[in-house]
Amino acid sequence: MKKLMLGLTLVLMLFAAGSAMAGSSEQTVYRFKTETLDGKPIKLSHYKGKVLLIVNVASKCGNTPQYKGLEELYKKYKDQGLVILGFPCNQFFSQEPGDAKTIQSFCTLNYGVTFPLMHKIEVNGDHKDPLYAYLETVYPGDIEWNFAKFLVDRHGHPIQRYKPKTQPEDLTSDIEKALAQK
């Protein structure tokens, strides 16, 4: 009986310690690493304290003109702490077939994009980027199309998901609220 009680006590202590440890390692976007469009590794913790808008983008999509609105948001709010991260994605009818140089050139020449573009990723399926796998644990469901958007607060927590057809200017109020939070 003593051995049984000792064993149960030990199990309960290990469980309690594990629960406490799990609570201390907060789940945020900051634990992920990615690469810039030109292949340089970057940790998302580089953006701590910033409000992030994470968008899967494409250059041959009906939503491509949203680049203009995204750039306008970035220019308007970057000095207040907004960073837009564009992740090119070729999963939807091959709407982003270009290499990094082609993507950068297209975005710069056609839309004057200055916000950071990351490397091409997959947002659904077996090869889904780990960041998107995490985002979908917070806001479940596959990404429907290019230009789906996730707003992330200054602490690295996703706070809103937007459909691909949601226009960038329709995010203004949510972005301003997120920027106002410290």
Instruction: Classify strands 33-35 and 41-43 as parallel, antiparallel or unpaired.
Output: antiparallel
Residue of 66, 64, 34, 30 whose CA lies nearest to 48: 30
Contact status, residue 43 vs residue 33, Cβ threshold 8 Å: yes
Please identify which residue in the block is written with the tokens 């006590």: 9
For residue 107, indicate whether it is catalytic: no
Tell which residue, 104, 105, 126, 125, has the closest CA to residue 116. 104
The residue annotated as part of the active site, out of 53, 58, 61, 84, is 61
Catalytic residues: 61
